[in-house]
Structure 1
């Protein structure tokens, strides 16, 4: 059966919840929430509540027309009301009759969203100080909401449309002579909600469709295998979760007649090496090269290398950056050069950007490199 990653609670989600609780407790109200405008509808995106008589459903879409959100954002309702049942603009609203809102304080947050605190009863002490406090929290919350918004299910499922992304290929070169020995396939998303590919894959993982997105982008990359220049390998990136999915392994094996490498990222922790051993053995048996990506970052450690037994180790950009100027980075890289030589594996330095970095890496014996100074991600060269 396919193995899918469990959705994770992001740091942004946790920070939003913390700020909502701070708002609710400080104002002494029953509920604090972020309500988002989605076209002609609204939905509760995040909530913190104590004992309350208010009724709500997270992520349930309801009409914007006639809602508290519309009234507050348009200015037809005041920023705070101590008793909604006495105000002519609020007493007949569905939020008062059906959801039981008796008092509230609210401010806009970000673009098209509302930070609101409410109770099911009147709260006479609510005044402009409540909205001033919420305004401060809204400023703190805006960036967190933008980042958390990339997990919106509709946007993630749009990313699963092949027309929503494109593949580019970054050269990997032999540092001794500068010749290209392979290309790493990289996904690029044109949705501004995904400022980097990492945002898209993280959001997909949180939404439970991370493996599907990896499979889709890998399939697009593998379709270009016949166009890879003779003698060059194609590297595709996969998480440990994806490699434990039969459909992923089958697709790779179907293309194993080509020079192919699988880069296992270390930003996703391997929870069970025994489960990963079988698919890796199948790939090795078919001639697919196993690469440990981002060594020295995330969950990287020597136990990881010993368990995976890669043919290639790629040094993380944080080790490579400034290696010509930082004695500690230089010492660490030298030690990994020695380790690679003893283990008879190849070493690739990622993220090389300056002539000084390139020269230093050559001098200490790093065999291969990748980075803007070696070649930017682009379409595969014409045959």
Structure 2
């Protein structure tokens, strides 16, 4: 998971600017600058050459992805010194005329230079050719080609490093799922009016090195294509504990809009999960491009009793769009509004407006991040329905959460702050 820092000033350019389309453009520039008909990048792979990128005029005989024997053509012979790097007229070079492609393609002039990685390994070659001789080809043209080859060497070297980093991250993420390094903790959510336990928000914790916040692990998983798999694993792990708790308690689980749209929620139906106890918290910061599609994907689950919550309301523009478009049963006030609300009239005014709006549309409000008694009292006066935060209870291990839930159902049991001592 460590991030490698590269000192080369071109690194940011490659990371953010050069794509496959960008490399194709590089080839086009090379070819046109040198007045060639075809330019290509060949990657040496075992006993073959793979033409990863090709730029040529209409009717070009070479195609991207084409695989040819390593010993055929000009490339390997140039590397071995059996042919010069640039040939203005192939008919004047006997070794070139012995190559079948010189006649079959045909090749009248040719330039080729190796692409070398930082550790001096040979990646392949950057080559250009024209169907007709080009008498003006000179060393200055080779200098241009070598400069582009150096550029490409840096790019492919950085790409290889990035791929190794991706593989390392993917390995760690898979290990977390397979080896039990991901566990669920349960943060109590309390009913302010009743002063009693209402339910739990299920949160993921990663017990492995390097120690990182959960959101960074999920972000890393998404960066290597394992985000949906990790989300499903976390949700399944959380909901597998449902049967340990009293049937009336709801469980909040976090998921991204993309996860919902992926169709993986169907796994909850297939698992036989009691959806009437599940609250899906859609993260506020996650962008949604098609709300109609998201609402349609949610419909069969909401019909089965699942509730929807919009997380981090008030922290940004996305939350209000989520609320208006998805009509959630629950709206969660962001910690940025909750903190110091007892001392800040602007926060109180904003919260009051959101609470009034929520109740008007039939939604209930949960205040997140409650850390002081004065905050809780103020939120209660404003009409907030539920609250969670370290003042009330820290996230609990499964055993402690079960004890808290069972105790909450008994007359005289400890109320809103009873679980604080057991927090994990």
The TM-score by the shorter chain falls in which range? Answer: 0.5 to 0.7
| 1:1-383 equivalence runs, <5 A | 20-21=8-9, 95-96=119-120, 98=122, 152-161=169-178, 163-252=180-269, 254-256=272-274, 258-378=276-396, 379=398, 380-382=401-403, 383=406
Residues in 2 aligned to 1:23 and 1:249: alpha-carbon distance in whole angstroms = 42
| Structure 1: unaligned runs, 5 residues or longer | 1-11, 26-30, 33-49, 58-93, 101-119, 122-144
Residue 152 of structure 1 and its aligned partner are, at CA, apart by 2.5
Change (3 A) 1:344 1:163: same
What is the number of equivalent residue pairs in this alignment?
267
Change (3 A) 1:294 1:301: closer
What does the per-residue CA deviation read over 1:300-330, in whole Å, with 9 as the maximum and x for residues that have no partner? 3423211111000001111111111222211
Structure with the bigger RCO (C-alpha within 8 Å, sep 6+) is: 1
What does the per-residue CA deviation read over 1:114-140, in whole Å, with 9 as the maximum and x for residues that have no partner? xxxxxx99xxxxxxxxxxxxxxxxxxx
Change (3 A) 1:292 1:97: closer
Change (3 A) 1:294 1:252: farther
What does the per-residue CA deviation read over 1:211-230, in whole Å, with 9 as the maximum and x for residues that have no partner? 10000011111111111224
What does the per-residue CA deviation read over 1:6-41, in whole Å, with 9 as the maximum and x for residues that have no partner? xxxxxx98x957x6426899xxxxx99xxxxxxxxx
| Structure 2: unaligned runs, 5 residues or longer | 16-25, 28-40, 44-117, 125-145, 148-161, 407-424
Say which one has the larger Rg: 2
Residues in 1 aligned to 2:354 and 2:345: alpha-carbon distance in whole angstroms = 14
Change (3 A) 1:162 1:271: farther
CA RMSD of aligned residues (A): 3.5
What does the per-residue CA deviation read over 1:26-73, in whole Å, with 9 as the maximum and x for residues that have no partner? xxxxx99xxxxxxxxxxxxxxxxx99xxx9x9xxxxxxxxxxxxxxxx
What does the per-residue CA deviation read over 1:152-180, in whole Å, with 9 as the maximum and x for residues that have no partner? 33222223325111011111101123201
Check whether the contact 1:150–1:199 (CA below 8 A) recurs between aligned residues: no
Check whether the contact 2:276–2:307 (CA below 8 A) recurs between aligned residues: no
Change (3 A) 1:202 1:324: same
Check whether the contact 2:166–2:224 (CA below 8 A) recurs between aligned residues: no
Residues in 1 aligned to 2:309 and 2:168: alpha-carbon distance in whole angstroms = 29
Comparing 235-244 with 300-309, greater Cα deviation is found at 300-309
Check whether the contact 2:308–2:330 (CA below 8 A) recurs between aligned residues: yes
Check whether the contact 1:151–1:203 (CA below 8 A) recurs between aligned residues: no
Check whether the contact 2:275–2:301 (CA below 8 A) recurs between aligned residues: no
Residue 96 of structure 1 and its aligned partner are, at CA, apart by 4.7
SS at match of 2:301: helix
